[in-house]
Structure 1
Amino acid sequence: MSMTNSGLHQTITAEMLHQLVENTFGTATIVKGFALLQGGLFNTTYRIQLEHASYADVILRLAPEQGDMPSGSASDPLFSFERTMMSAEPVVYEYYRKAGIPAPNIIACDDSGSIIPRTYMFMEFIPSKQLDHPSISEADKERLNHQLGAYTAVMHQIEGATFGWPQGDGTIRGSEHWSEVLHSFAEETALKASQVGYMPGVGEEIADMFITNKGLFDQVTVPVLVHNDLWEANVLVHEKKGQLNIAAIIDGDRSMFADRQFEAILSTESSAGFHEGYGRPQDMSNEGQARLLAYRILSSYFNAYVHQHQVDQPEAGQKYCERTLNLLEEWKRLEIN
C-alpha cells in the first residue's frame, strides 16, 4: 500500500499496525482487515476489524512523528499545543462524558514512544455518518443542529482553573490571563511564519494587539472549555429509535479553556437551529464585538499559515491570507484603538 505522505500525514507498515494491535489488545488478537481512512491532514487514521479482542471494530489514529527537536521550537513543524493534543484528547472526552455530551470511547492512548515515535490511540468505531452528509434531510439537520447547540452550551459551562490547553495529565498549559494565552498563540504563529518569510510583519502586528489591548481581553475572567474545531464534519450522527441523533462530537483535540466566544461556530457558519439550541446571546457590547473580531483575525492568520506551510493547500492559504488582511483593516477602524 503505497501513498504519498504530505509531510505530517504518514502511513505505517502492516507489521507495525499488527504490533500496535497486539500491544493493546493482546497477542491472541487477529486483525481481520484494515483500511486507511481519507481525510484529516494531520493525523493518520485506520479502521481495523479484530477477532479475539474486546472490540470487533476500532479506529487507530496516529499523530505526526515526535521528532528530535524540542516542542515549540521555531524549527518544529508543529505548534506546541499540537505536540500534546492527542494525549489531551482522553481528558477532553472525560469532561464531555461527565457533562452528558456524547463523546468517542477511547480504548487506549499511548504517548510513550516505546513502540513507535508517535502518539497513537485506539477508539471504538462508531457506526454513523457526519452531520454534513447529503442524505440528511433539511428538517433532520435543523433538529440535529439544535441538539448540537444545546450540547455546545453545556460544554461552555465546563470551567477550567486557568486559560489554555488541557494536557494529558489533567493540568492546563496557559495562564490566568486570557490576553497572555492569546498573545503566546499569536506569537508562536508569527515566529513560525517569519522563519519562512510568510506575511512579513503581520504576525507581529497581530501578537501586539493582545498586549496593547490587554485590558480588553482580560475582561474575560472565566475560562470555559471550547472545542475549537466545531463544524458539521466533526459531529457524528446515528439512528436511534427511528430518528437521527448525535452519536458523538469528535476531534476534540484542539480544545482549550477560553472565552466561550472563541468558539468560531458562534459567529460563522452556524444555523438558526444551532443558535436556538445554544440559547445564549452573543456579547453585542462594543468590547464583545471587538474581541470577536480579534479572535477571527487570529484564527484566520493561523489558518493562513497552516494551509500554506503545514499542509500544502495554497488556495486555502491565499483565501485566509486575504481574509486576515481585510479583518486587520476592519480592526484599525475600530473605536478602541
Structure 2
Amino acid sequence: MKSRTKVALERHELEPLVREVLGTKNSVRRVEELTEGMFNAAYALELEDGASVVLKVAPPPELPLLTYERNLMRTEVEFYEHAAREKVCPVPRVLAHDFSRKRIGRDFFLMERLRGTPLTTAKKRLSKADQVRIQTELGELVGRLRTLRGRFFGYLQPDTGLQAGTWREAFLAMVAALLQDAERFAVKLPLPARELLALFQAGATVLEQVTEPVLTHFDLWEGNVFVHTVDGAARIEAFIDGERAFWGDPLAEFASTALFRDPEHETDFLRGYQAATGTPLVFTREVRHRLNLYRAYLYLIMVLEGAPRGYSGLKALLIRQYCRMKLRNELELLASR
C-alpha cells in the first residue's frame, strides 16, 4: 500500500550507504523494493558476494506522525535486540543501524533477509498438521516473551512521552495521545473524544492487575510471522516489524495474534502458550475486560494511522470502514461493562 511515510531512496544513494555502513567493498548487484510494509521504505539487496540483506529507511523526521510513532524504527531495532539477546523468540539479525541522521537525514538499519514467507501467504499451502504446529509454536513463543521485563510501562522511546510507573497510567496516556492525534489529523471517531476516553477510564481499574512491565510486540498478526520449511516441516522463522512494541501487559499480545478473531477459540495457540508459561490462561471476566480495552486501542490505531500516511483508494477505504466497525463494537462492549 502506498504511504507518504515511505520516502524512496534512489539507486545511487543506496550503494554507497550500504558499503559504508557494512564496511564492505561489495557493490549492490540487485535492488528489489519491498512493498508489503506500510510505514518504512524497505529494499531487498543482493550484494556482489551473494549476501542478501534488507535495508529499512524511516520517514523524514519532520513528517507529521501519530505520537507513538516518533522514532518508531528505533523501537523495532530495540525489540530485535532484546529478543535476540535473551533468545526468547526468533527475529532477523540486525547487521548495522544508523540513527545519527547524518548520512541521509533519516534513521535506517540493515538486517539479514529471511528465507521464508509471511504466514498470510504460507498458510495457503500448509497442511493441517503444519498449521497446528505453527499455531502451537506461535503460542509458545508469545508465552516466552513474557520473560522479558522492563523498568517502566509504556512505549520504548522517551520522545513519545508515553511512559509511566504503572500500567494503568501508561495505557490511559497512550489512549489520550491517540485521541489528541485524531483531533490533530481531523479523523472522525465513532464517539466524541471525551466520551471515548471516559469509556477507557471507567474500566481502567482492571489494569491494576498488571504489576510487571513485559515486552509486548503488539503487531503479531500473520503478516509479521515468517514461516520457513525445514526438513519438510514448516516452522516459524522469525517475528518481524516490532515497531509497535511497548512495556506493558502480555495479555495485550492477543489483540494482534488473534486479529479480528476471538482468542478464546485459538486452541492450538493456547496449548502452546500454556506449555511456555506453565499455566493455562483462564478467560475470567477481568481478562476479557482487559482484552476488550486492548482490542479497542488497536482498532483505534488502525482507524487513525491512514491519515498521516495518506492512504487512498478503495482498499484503504474498505479497511478503514471495517476497523471503524470493529472499534465501534469494542466501544459498545466497554459501555456495557
Structure-1-length-normalised TM-score: 0.86
- SS, match of residue 109 in structure 2: strand
Tell me the residue number matched to 2:247: 257
Could you tell me how far apart the structure 2 residues matched to 1:239 and 1:266 are?
A: 21
Tell me the residue number matched to 2:13: 16
Q: Which of 312, 315, 318 is 2:321 aligned to?
A: 318
Contact 1:65 1:118 in 2 (8 A): yes
Structure richer in helix, relative to its length: 2
Contact 1:179 1:210 in 2 (8 A): no
Tell me the residue number matched to 1:130: 118
Report the AA paired with residue 89 of structure 1.
E
Alignment coverage as a number of residue pairs: 320
Unaligned runs of 5+ in 1: 68-75
Tell me the residue number matched to 1:72: none
- Structure 2 vs 1, CA of residues 242 and 320 (structure 1 numbering), >3 Å: closer, same or farther? closer
Specify which structure has the bigger relative contact order, considering alpha-carbon pairs within 8 angstroms and separated by 6 or more residues.
2
Contact 1:158 1:224 in 2 (8 A): yes
Q: Which of 171, 179, 190 is 1:182 aligned to?
A: 171
Report the AA paired with residue 58 of structure 1.
V
- CA offsets per residue over residues 139-181 of structure 1, 9 Å max, x none? 1111011111101100022211111122499xx9611111222
- Structure 2 vs 1, CA of residues 85 and 284 (structure 1 numbering), >3 Å: closer, same or farther? same
Tell me the residue number matched to 1:81: 68
Tell me the residue number matched to 1:115: 103
Q: Which of 190, 193, 218 is 2:182 aligned to?
A: 193
- SS, match of residue 178 in structure 2: helix
Could you tell me how far apart the structure 1 residues matched to 2:245 and 2:172 are?
A: 17
The worse-fitting range, judged by mean Cα deviation, of 42-51 and 275-284 is 275-284
Could you tell me how far apart the structure 2 residues matched to 1:293 and 1:250 are?
A: 25
Could you tell me how far apart the structure 2 residues matched to 1:278 and 1:27 are?
A: 42
Q: Which of 68, 77, 81 is 1:94 aligned to?
A: 81
Q: Which of 315, 328, 333 is 2:331 aligned to?
A: 328
Report the AA paired with residue 119 of structure 1.
D
Alignment of 1:202-213 (within 5 A): 202-213=192-203
Give how far 1:30 is off.
1.0
Give how far 1:197 is off.
4.8
Alignment of 1:140-155 (within 5 A): 140-155=130-145
- SS, match of residue 123 in structure 1: strand
Unaligned runs of 5+ in 2: none
Give how far 1:220 is off.
1.5
Give how far 1:34 is off.
0.8
- SS, match of residue 43 in structure 2: strand
- SS, match of residue 71 in structure 2: helix
- Structure 2 vs 1, CA of residues 274 and 207 (structure 1 numbering), >3 Å: closer, same or farther? same
Contact 1:8 1:42 in 2 (8 A): yes
Give how far 1:314 is off.
2.0
Could you tell me how far apart the structure 1 residues matched to 2:113 and 2:107 are?
A: 19
Tell me the residue number matched to 2:51: 56
Tell me the residue number matched to 2:37: 40
Q: Which of 56, 61, 70 is 1:66 aligned to?
A: 61
Could you tell me how far apart the structure 2 residues matched to 1:319 and 1:202 are?
A: 19
Could you tell me how far apart the structure 2 residues matched to 1:214 and 1:331 are?
A: 11
- Structure 2 vs 1, CA of residues 206 and 16 (structure 1 numbering), >3 Å: closer, same or farther? same
- SS, match of residue 61 in structure 1: strand
- CA offsets per residue over residues 286-321 of structure 1, 9 Å max, x none? 222222212222221221122355334222111111
Structure-2-length-normalised TM-score: 0.86
Contact 1:183 1:208 in 2 (8 A): no
- SS, match of residue 303 in structure 2: helix
Could you tell me how far apart the structure 2 residues matched to 1:5 and 1:318 are?
A: 18
The worse-fitting range, judged by mean Cα deviation, of 86-95 and 254-263 is 86-95
- Tell me the percent identity: 29
Q: Which of 208, 223, 232 is 2:222 aligned to?
A: 232
Give how far 1:200 is off.
7.2
Tell me the residue number matched to 2:294: 295
- SS, match of residue 49 in structure 1: strand
Tell me the residue number matched to 1:70: none
- SS, match of residue 101 in structure 2: coil
- Structure 2 vs 1, CA of residues 331 and 210 (structure 1 numbering), >3 Å: closer, same or farther? closer
